[in-house]
Amino acid sequence: MAFPALDEVQGKIKNLQGTMGTVFDEAGSDMDLSKVKSVKGTTHEVAAQIRAWNDELTDLSKKRDDLYAVQKAAERAKSSHDSGNGEGGDGADSDDAGKVPQQRKSLGEMFVKSIALKEKTGPIGPTAHIDVELKTLMTTTAGFAPEVLRTGQVVPFATRPIQVVDAIPQTTTSQAAVQYMEETTYTNAAAETDEGGTYAESALAYTEKQSNVRKIATFLPVTDEQLEDVPQLSGMINNRLPFMVRQKLDLQLISGSGTGTPTQLRGILNVAGIQTQAKGADPTPDAIYKGIVKIETVGQAFANLVMMHPTNWQDVRLLRTADGLYIWGNPSDAGPERIWGLQVVRAQAATLGTAIVGDAANFCELAVRRGMDMQVSNSHGSFFVEGKQAIRCDIRVAFVVYRPAAFCTVTGL
């Protein structure tokens, strides 16, 4: 069946494709539009013309597709009509001769004349839904759920990091306690003496001190299947249980009571004899410096460490001059984690509002009796017959503050 409109559109498409092909041939493989001679104008104008042709070609292609679909529909309709009239059909029933061929209804006609549509008409025409019987809708939640694979990423629980332990000097011990002698009496009577004169008597006395080794421990029950079916789980447990023990140790080094059942370590804040400096009306840096001087003059030590809560360090870090300049560095810089030359440890385990200044390098010590130890057993309770494992982790340490006066708290921050 001839279809002039389709032929015309196809002709336009062919001509336009030829024109664009010429332009691209002139531009070459490097697409240098300055070489194009068939289109007058600058390279920008040539590029604009190419875009216009491309848009036109897109529209013509859509129009061609529509016309092609119409042509096919017309051909099918004619073929069906001719077959119904018996034209060219060798097997046409002679009894049907003279009968009026039955017209087929399109889907649109069947919809318009349907009873459902006629019964569901509103005041201004048909409503938006047809009263038909619906079966259960198949969805991803009530049908075939899609498969989703985990990435393997495990996000740790948000918890306080280890910040104090690494700032304390560590040694080892083979004893159940760290026992030492403290010089508690020091009387210096040294003086100038004449020839033959009597020497002045000085005095020294020592007191035995000790800090007992304490154990910090925890355990985790896990089924056999969990360990067998999740290969990376054992590695995760090997990391998390020691972290839990060190996190508790971190806290006790600052605020352990030294009492209780079982007995805790005695943290710096609960050691008798440490000095204190109230902030009062002083700026925080001034109060900290006064604590440093007390350590130097009373404790006869040299402070090398400041521990404070991150919120208190924030107040120091944001200090500004009257004209708005940041004292501890510009916001664009990382800024020094030091004050008066001393390293600042931002410890979340520290008491908010109280800083600790001290000579940690010389007058305190974390003595390790047994390092981090992990063991696994199924002999706990009825774990053997239940297919469970008990994974335990512990550490045994003693914490010693040899000279309390070498530490000073700065309060009221």
Quick one: 62 and 171 in the same domain? Answer: no
Quick one: 407 and 270 in the same domain? Answer: yes
Domain that holds residue 231: 165-191+200-411
Residue with tokens 């004209």: 323
Inside any domain, residue 151: no
List phi, psi (to 5°) of 93.
-75, 125
Inside any domain, residue 106: no
Query: Where among 54, 71, 88 does a domain terminate?
Result: 71
Inside any domain, residue 62: yes
Query: Where among 71, 93, 110 does a domain terminate?
Result: 71
Quick one: 209 and 327 in the same domain? Answer: yes
Inside any domain, residue 218: yes
Quick one: 178 and 34 in the same domain? Answer: no
CATH number at residue 292: 3.30.2400.10
Q: If you ran DSSP here, which 8-state letter would residue 199 be given?
A: P
Residue with tokens 């690494």: 166
Q: If you ran DSSP here, which 8-state letter would residue 406 be given?
A: G
Quick one: 169 and 298 in the same domain? Answer: yes
End-to-end CA gap in the chain: 95
Total domains in the chain come to 2
How far is residue 348's CA from residue 335's CA, in Å, rounded to a whole number?
19
Q: If you ran DSSP here, which 8-state letter would residue 202 be given?
A: P
Inside any domain, residue 101: no
* Residue among 17, 18, 38 at smallest CA distance from 27: 38
Inside any domain, residue 104: no
Q: What is the pLDDT along the chain (413 residues), one digit of tens a residue?
A: 667 887 888 788 888 777 877 877 787 766 777 888 888 888 778 778 887 877 787 888 788 778 877 777 777 777 766 655 544 444 444 444 444 455 566 656 665 566 655 555 555 555 555 455 656 788 878 788 888 888 888 899 999 999 999 999 999 999 999 999 999 999 999 999 999 999 999 999 999 999 999 999 999 999 999 999 988 899 999 999 999 999 999 999 999 999 998 999 999 999 999 999 999 999 999 999 999 999 999 999 999 999 999 999 999 999 988 888 888 888 888 777 899 999 999 999 999 999 999 999 999 999 999 999 999 999 999 999 999 999 999 999 999 999 999 999 999 99
Quick one: 66 and 185 in the same domain? Answer: no
* Helix (H) or strand (E) run with residue 177 in it: strand 177-187
Describe the strand order of the beta sheet including 388-401 as a list of residue ranges.
170-172, 364-377, 388-401, 214-223
Query: Where among 71, 91, 121 does a domain terminate?
Result: 71
